[in-house]
Chains A and B, each alone.
Chain A
Amino acid sequence: MMYRIENLHLSLPDMTRKPLLGAAPRIEILKSLTFDVPKGAVLGIVGGSGSGKSTLGRVMLRLLEPTAGSIVFDGTDITHTDEVQLRPMRRRFQMIFQDPMSSLNPRRRVDGIIGGPLRLHGLDGLRSRVDEALDMVGLPRGFAHRYPHELSGGQRQRVGIARAIALRPDFILADEIVSGLDVSSQAQVLNLLEDLVRELGLTLAFISHDLSVIRRLCSRIIVLHQGLIVEDAETAELFTSPKAAYTRELLQAIPLPDPDQPWD
């Protein structure tokens, strides 16, 4: 198992309702989540806004500390491991962010963005590793000297992917990585990710609000609604016979480019 997540809870203080004195009331964002991510699997995590899907991703990468429950990554319990001990492990689980504009430091060139984490983990042959990563995501090597704002949206997202795979991680979390892209670059990025998963033998968790983009990529899907897992099923099964009412509602609400789709 790459990830074994049991009974995961997360609550955060609600600062907008904080009384003048005393602690702010806590809002439950994740309520008792249990699921596994087998090695080599591509897991889809689907939900609407406020479902807690992005928060779940950040807890899995331990950018947030869960309130209760446990996260076991490849046999190591990382639920409450502190940042210093976590740091050497971080190379093994990486993330691709939703908004490539905000996730790429605007004042660094592409080679710095991809090479920074490599240097941090003391990897040698920086230059060739950066080039290799650019090759793998299909960007010309000359892009190494560009700034993020000199790239298109799709190209930026490729840099984000290159940064994650350059470390040769075991696991990658992709958080809504195509939602800001046009359909043409969406297809390119999705196809690229699919190829990389196969070539590098990655385990991937793919967070999205859009069931349409998830079907292609994922072997299993969990559907999140208001901090709870309402459905956890094989991909084909989820689309042919969805069990949860919310999943059905979600499926029926997707507008297909087809005038004959029932829509009422």
Chain B
Amino acid sequence: MRPFLSIRNLSVALKNGGLILRNVSLDVAVGKVHGLVGESGAGKSMIGKSVLGTLPRALQITGGEIWLDGVDLLSIPPAQRRKRIGATAALIPQDPLTALNPTRRIGPQITRRLVDILGWTKADAQARALELLEEVQIADPARVMRNYPHELSGGMRQRILIASAFAAKPKLIIADEPTTALDVTVQKQILRLIADMQARHGSALLFVTHDLGVVSKVCDALSVLYAGKVVEDAQMRRFFCRPVHPYSRALLAATPTYTNPTGSLMPVPQSVIDAVEREVVQHDRRWRA
């Protein structure tokens, strides 16, 4: 049986031909958290966007399969695809400031999707929203439902976005750098909350982040990306104990930690960059042949 989300040889390219994702494959089982790690421009966000069908207009999927719940999303007509995605997947976005509409109250922003897309009654949706806000540990949910986004802190807003992502009981959650804009203390709470919610709902979670520290806290497995190519795919513990690829090792060495008082930060050595660049070039050569 296929894992709940199974991406096979996914390639995404700019309309002018430049490759953004190079033959990416990964699996996420129900109840598991898979991390996508890489530096900016590695294409980690584009994987989530490919699954959700929200790639920027300049990009297109040029090959591969995205199996979601036993169906290859790329082989069915767009209207059906959107419907399936809407019913099974949801996104926790990066920036809690821009992800909520500043002119609308919180309540309708959570319930609208339930009412408009999934055809719930208003009362049901309302009740579900209250229940969810309580689940994400918001005190006085009834009042928060009537608040506008600007009346709430960044952490609160991220909680609301998490609540609304889980609203329709999705089987797949894609979290795109959900804590990058937050303070570390708030980040810790939010990470725990996401992990709790994921465990309780048993969803598959694709977690995009640039922070290896965050990965070690929430993920079961991870893929390390460089220039749109998966350079290492590993179980979480194995990765942190014995990273295999030189680029992964360099990335770990470059991550600053406060527990190491004297150790100097190791920038990713040019030799490693060159080696991984060569891999990318080789891949492209094979790909075009």
List residues of A whose CB falls within 8 A of some B CB: 48-49, 153, 182-188, 190-191, 209-216, 236, 239, 249-259, 261, 263
- Whether, in the assembled complex, B201 has its beta carbon less than 8 Å from a beta carbon of chain A, the answer is no
The residues of A that contact B185 with a CB separation of less than 8 Å are 48, 249-250, 253
The residues of B that contact A250 with a CB separation of less than 8 Å are 184-185
In the complex, what's the smallest C-beta–C-beta distance from B154 to chain A, in angstroms? Answer: 8
The residues of A that contact B268 with a CB separation of less than 8 Å are 183-184, 187
How would residues 189 to 218 of chain B score, 1 for a CB under 8 Å from any chain A CB and 0 otherwise? 001000000000000000000111111110
Closest-by-CB residue of A relative to B237 is A259
The residues of B that contact A215 with a CB separation of less than 8 Å are 256, 258, 260-261
| 24 cross-chain CB contacts under 8 A | A182-B40, A182-B210, A184-B251, A186-B254, A186-B265, A187-B256, A187-B267, A190-B256, A212-B256, A214-B258, A216-B264, A249-B185, A250-B185, A253-B184, A254-B184, A254-B258, A255-B187, A255-B214, A255-B217, A256-B216, A256-B259, A257-B213, A258-B240, A263-B217
B212, A257: Cβ atoms closer than 8 Å: yes
B216, A255: Cβ atoms closer than 8 Å: yes
List residues of B whose CB falls within 8 A of some A CB: 39-40, 154, 183-188, 191, 210-217, 236-237, 240, 250-252, 254-261, 264-268
The residues of B that contact A257 with a CB separation of less than 8 Å are 212-213, 215-216, 240, 252, 255, 257
Closest-by-CB residue of A relative to B241 is A259
The residues of A that contact B188 with a CB separation of less than 8 Å are 252-253, 255, 263
The interface centre, meaning the residue of B236, B240, B255, B258 with most chain A CB atoms within 10 A of its CB, is B258
- State A215–B251 Cα separation when bound (angstroms): 19
In the complex, what's the smallest C-beta–C-beta distance from B43 to chain A, in angstroms? Answer: 14
Contact A187 B240, CB 8 Å, known A212-B257, A255-B211, A256-B213: no
In the complex, what's the smallest C-beta–C-beta distance from A212 to chain B, in angstroms? Answer: 4
A216, B256: Cβ atoms closer than 8 Å: yes
A191, B216: Cβ atoms closer than 8 Å: no
In the complex, what's the smallest C-beta–C-beta distance from A15 to chain B, in angstroms? Answer: 14
Task: Classify the secondary structure of A's interface with B.
Answer: helix
In the complex, what's the smallest C-beta–C-beta distance from A99 to chain B, in angstroms? Answer: 14
- State A216–B251 Cα separation when bound (angstroms): 18
Inter-chain contact count A-B, CB under 8 Å? 107
Q: A183-B251, A263-B217 are in contact. List 9 more A-B contacts (CB 8 A).
A: A49-B183, A184-B250, A188-B267, A190-B256, A251-B258, A255-B213, A256-B257, A257-B255, A261-B216
Closest-by-CB residue of B relative to A216 is B265
Closest-by-CB residue of A relative to B214 is A255
In the complex, what's the smallest C-beta–C-beta distance from A54 to chain B, in angstroms? Answer: 13
The residues of A that contact B236 with a CB separation of less than 8 Å are 259
A258, B216: Cβ atoms closer than 8 Å: yes
B215, A212: Cβ atoms closer than 8 Å: no
Partner of A191, one of B154, B186, B217, B264: B264
The interface centre, meaning the residue of B183, B214, B236 with most chain A CB atoms within 10 A of its CB, is B183
Contact A191 B183, CB 8 Å, known A254-B258, A256-B259, A257-B240: no
Closest-by-CB residue of A relative to B184 is A253
- State A257–B236 Cα separation when bound (angstroms): 11
The residues of B that contact A187 with a CB separation of less than 8 Å are 254, 256, 265-268
- Which 9 A-B residue pairs are closest in the complex by CB-CB distance? A255-B213, A184-B268, A187-B265, A48-B183, A182-B39, A257-B212, A212-B256, A187-B267, A253-B188
The residues of A that contact B266 with a CB separation of less than 8 Å are 187
- State A209–B187 Cα separation when bound (angstroms): 12
The residues of A that contact B187 with a CB separation of less than 8 Å are 253, 255
B261, A236: Cβ atoms closer than 8 Å: yes
The residues of B that contact A253 with a CB separation of less than 8 Å are 184-185, 187-188
B259, A191: Cβ atoms closer than 8 Å: no
A183, B254: Cβ atoms closer than 8 Å: yes
A255, B183: Cβ atoms closer than 8 Å: no
- State A213–B255 Cα separation when bound (angstroms): 9
- State A221–B267 Cα separation when bound (angstroms): 24
B216, A183: Cβ atoms closer than 8 Å: no
Closest-by-CB residue of A relative to B188 is A253
- State A222–B183 Cα separation when bound (angstroms): 17
A186, B256: Cβ atoms closer than 8 Å: yes
- State A250–B185 Cα separation when bound (angstroms): 6
The interface centre, meaning the residue of B40, B210, B237, B267 with most chain A CB atoms within 10 A of its CB, is B267
The residues of A that contact B186 with a CB separation of less than 8 Å are 48
- State A7–B268 Cα separation when bound (angstroms): 43
The residues of A that contact B215 with a CB separation of less than 8 Å are 257
